[in-house]
Amino acid sequence: MNFLEIEKLRSDTSRLLSQFHGLPKVLLLYSYFEKLLATNNTNLINAFSQEFINEYLTELDSYSPFYSEPEKCIQLLDQLSALTLVPSLGKYCSRIKELNKSVKEKLDHLLAILDGKDVQEKSAKLLFPLLGKVVTSFGTYEYASLEPVKVKIAPAKHKNTFLFIPSRKKSDELEEQAIISFRLALQYLGNYRSKFHKFHEVIIYFDNLEAEYEGRSLGIALTIGFISQLSELYNLPYLIHIKGNIASTGGLSQNGETSSLGENIVRQKIEAAFYSDIETIIIPSQDESFAKEKLKELKKYYPNRLLSTVSVENLTDLLNRRNLVAIIKQSPLVRSAKNIKKNWISVSLSLIIFLIVSFIWIREFDDNPSSYDSTEYSIRIINKNYRTLWNIPFRNSRKDPGNLERSFRILDVNNDGINEVLFVFDHNSKYSDKSISEGLALLDYQGKIIWRRSFAKGITSKREVLSPPYGTNMYDTLIINNDLCILCGFNNSNSYVSAVYILNLRKNEVVSDTLWNSGHISDVRVVELNNDNEKELLILSCNNGLQKNSILHLNVDELRGQVPTTDEYKLQNIQDAKILGYFLFPNTDYNQYLGYRWTSLKSRGMFMDNESKIVRFISLEAGPENGEYIVYNWYYKKNEFDIAIGNELRVPRDSLVAHGKLPLPYTDTKEYRELLKSQIRYWNGKDFVKREGLK
């Protein structure tokens, strides 16, 4: 993978991370680091390793190698070992080694079970194998786990209700199976009690938020769970519980007959159970041959694994098996004591239901914007549970993450726990009118406008009069006087000039002077390079007067004036900016051969390694769409540059060199990189000079 592909992978991963937790998140980040390490490119690995490493290690703290073959865990351990060798991850090295040791111990535990040496303490929980899938634009990752059945049942006044938490797990098939299972449970318990409440509220909740729960496969587990809860609720003479270390899968029909899941599903669930600590798995009798065949395959590798399959034809068949289901008679004394506490239990149960319903309300009716998702024509504002709150029309034909970041932010402007949406609108937006045709808008959590503003300053150079409109862009945020502020950039829509200032978001007030540039701006970053506890800015832009791309370095409190340029492009009545550093980058011979005045820059295309103080950006050759690029790395401590050349540029330029249309040297050579480095110019306060010309 090249730089642009890795950057897209990074951007996609960043966007998806908030949607997952636990094992799915581990799989997502494992894939990211695996693809990154596979590049064998030291510069890329150093540059792209730090952003997600802390989150990855945090998820790995609770990682378990169970439910899949040990080889996958071994691959993860190999990856952790490789990450300890990445120079930019030096400060994480000891933590990675500790995790490696912890995961290895868990793997040893699994291997002991597979070797038949480990005896587990039995707990009376009925588990079911759950199959999950993480689908992304860059891959699909399947996983499995064993989940407990969790149900709560209470009498109801008007009708039977089945509540699923979270509600997005509800499906017609799942609800239908729950109704069938509940009816079967009541029919069975009719042997111990003649009358039940007419209606019940049944709450079924799931721990795993990513996986899909199939109604059919939950039939046996739900029915046993209902029987167990109802026997407790009605304080029956006999309590029915599942015995420990047992999992089940399979549906139940109206008459209590088990239904087949099919070969593929059964084989996957047997595999998940095999790589766990359970001793028995219950399956429909129709799937017995598939299950035994899969178990036989797995035991070729681990012949000592103590796992048995039990096939059942119907509910009665299951409940009559004392090795699976315990039916315990309660003493009259215990039942009497429970009846005395009946009112207390009712209150407690009501409180539990209230808390659960409150939890549902928080999850399902939370109207606080948390993040956004984009399509080609709109932005979907969503809450932390991924429920759509509202939409903003927005055309993003390139699907460029940098463009989205410059156009949309979700921020807590007032620091009150309720987020606002900050976004850039244009003249086609419903948020524009005659007074403000395009600019920046802040919306409250309901999508109502708090304020709008635009940049409409006119200015003059020797070359021309520069008038609005300006396209608006958002860059980094910073805190000034305890208020959240943002760096806003404005590129003139009709000509070359651009400007930057700092905006107080709470007050809708500009809190800095304006810095002017004779070319459009691509990125602005808040940095701290000087180690003086003062914030600085790096601005990536083109300079039309000098016909070069550039990086400007200055203090935040010196954000004023104009950037050096030629006399023709210089703005009238604007002082020169007080800058710390300014660099111009060459237009390559390849780019000039194709007729481009200078190379293109990627939106939000500048990256900063704060620890090593390395700044890098991508120069896009032959236009922004072709994928031919050069990476410039500025080593601040040495004030030197290094260059990496993408393979996509090497082939077309080398072809032109070979045909005598461009001069030697060839592209991906030390000589060509040194040639480009020699063309970088440094501002010395008066003129642009080579590095050796700096005093």
Tell whether 638 is covered by a domain.
yes
**Which pLDDT score is estimated for 333?**
60
Average pLDDT over residues 341-354: 59
**pLDDT tier at 174, thresholds 50, 70, 90:** confident
Average pLDDT over residues 333-354: 58
Tell whether 504 is covered by a domain.
yes
Its sign, for the CA torsion 309, 312, 317, 318, is: positive
Q: What is the pTM of this model?
A: 0.57
Q: Which of 454, 483, 510 lies at the terminal end of a domain, its last residue? A: 454
Highest mean pLDDT out of 43-47, 198-202, 381-385, 404-408: 198-202
Contact yes or no for 454/470 (Cβ under 8 A): yes
- Give the pLDDT confidence of 71-119 residue by residue, as tens digits: 999 999 999 999 999 998 999 999 999 999 999 999 999 999 999 876 5
Average pLDDT over residues 371-375: 82
**Which pLDDT score is estimated for 473?**
94
Residue 167 has pLDDT above 60, yes or no: no
Q: Are residues 384 and 348 in the same domain?
A: no
Of 257, 263, 274, give the one whose Cα is nearest residue 223: 257
Residue 645 has pLDDT above 80, yes or no: yes
Q: Are residues 132 and 234 in the same domain?
A: yes
| Element spanning 103, H or E | helix 93-114
**Which pLDDT score is estimated for 440?**
95
Residue 397 has pLDDT above 50, yes or no: no
Tell whether 683 is covered by a domain.
yes
Q: Are residues 342 and 375 in the same domain?
A: no
Q: Are residues 82 and 153 in the same domain?
A: no
Who wins on pLDDT, 627 or 585? Answer: 585
Average pLDDT over residues 323-328: 81
Q: What percent of the chain has pLDDT over 90?
A: 52
Q: Which of 435, 454, 473 lies at the terminal end of a domain, its last residue? A: 454
Highest mean pLDDT out of 431-440, 484-493, 603-612, 620-629: 484-493
Tell whether 120 is covered by a domain.
no
**Which pLDDT score is estimated for 210?**
47
Who wins on pLDDT, 3 or 657? Answer: 657
Q: Are residues 560 and 617 in the same domain?
A: yes
Residue 135 has pLDDT above 80, yes or no: no
**pLDDT tier at 563, thresholds 50, 70, 90:** very high
CB under 8 Å to 347, separation ≥6 — which residues?
none
Tell whether 411 is covered by a domain.
yes
**Which pLDDT score is estimated for 398?**
46
Q: What whole-number distance in Å separates Cα of residue 382 and Cα of residue 207? A: 21
Q: Are residues 328 and 374 in the same domain?
A: no
Residue 524 has pLDDT above 60, yes or no: yes
Average pLDDT over residues 559-584: 96
**pLDDT tier at 31, thresholds 50, 70, 90:** very high
Q: Give the count of beta carbons closer than 10 Å to the beta carbon of residue 337.
A: 11
**Which pLDDT score is estimated for 400?**
57
3-state SS string for 111-168: HHHHCCCCCCCCCCCEEEEEEEEEEECCEEEEEEEEEECEEEEEEECCCCEEEEECHH
Tell whether 469 is covered by a domain.
yes
Q: What whole-number distance in Å separates Cα of residue 282 and Cα of residue 412? A: 50
Mean pLDDT over the full length of the chain: 87
Q: What whole-number distance in Å separates Cα of residue 647 and Cα of residue 368? A: 45
Q: Are residues 663 and 529 in the same domain?
A: yes
Q: Are residues 563 and 642 in the same domain?
A: yes
Exposure letters 182-202 (e unless 16+ CB within 10 A, then b)? bbbbeebbeeeeeeeeeebbb
Average pLDDT over residues 616-644: 88
Contact yes or no for 63/80 (Cβ under 8 A): no
Tell whether 7 is covered by a domain.
yes
Average pLDDT over residues 663-691: 93
User: Which of 261-270, 531-540, 578-587, 604-613 is predicted least confidently?
Assistant: 604-613
Q: Are residues 674 and 548 in the same domain?
A: yes
Based on the number of CB atoms within 10 Å of its own CB, is 70 exposed (0-12), middle (13-18) or buried (19 or more)? Answer: middle
**Which pLDDT score is estimated for 295?**
94
| Element spanning 195, H or E | none
Tell whether 121 is covered by a domain.
no
Q: Are residues 75 and 59 in the same domain?
A: yes
Q: Which of 412, 437, 454 lies at the terminal end of a domain, its last residue? A: 454
**Which pLDDT score is estimated for 208?**
55
Average pLDDT over residues 450-462: 93
Q: Are residues 199 and 286 in the same domain?
A: yes
| Domain CATH code at residue 341 | 3.30.230.10
**pLDDT tier at 337, thresholds 50, 70, 90:** low
Q: How many domains does the chain have?
A: 4
**Which pLDDT score is estimated for 193?**
84
Whats the size of the chain, residue-wise?
A: 695
Q: Are residues 476 and 625 in the same domain?
A: yes
Q: What whole-number distance in Å separates Cα of residue 126 and Cα of residue 248? A: 7
Exposure letters 267-294 (e unless 16+ CB within 10 A, then b)? bbbbbbbbbbbbbbbbbbbbbbebbeeb
Long-range contacts of 635-638 (CB under 8 A, 24+ apart): 636/529, 637/613
Q: Domain residues for 605?
A: 461-693
Q: What whole-number distance in Å separates Cα of residue 498 and Cα of residue 399? A: 24
Who wins on pLDDT, 135 or 659? Answer: 659
Average pLDDT over residues 451-465: 93
Based on the number of CB atoms within 10 Å of its own CB, is 610 exposed (0-12), middle (13-18) or buried (19 or more)? Answer: exposed
Would you give the distance in Å from CA 79 to the centre of its chain? 20
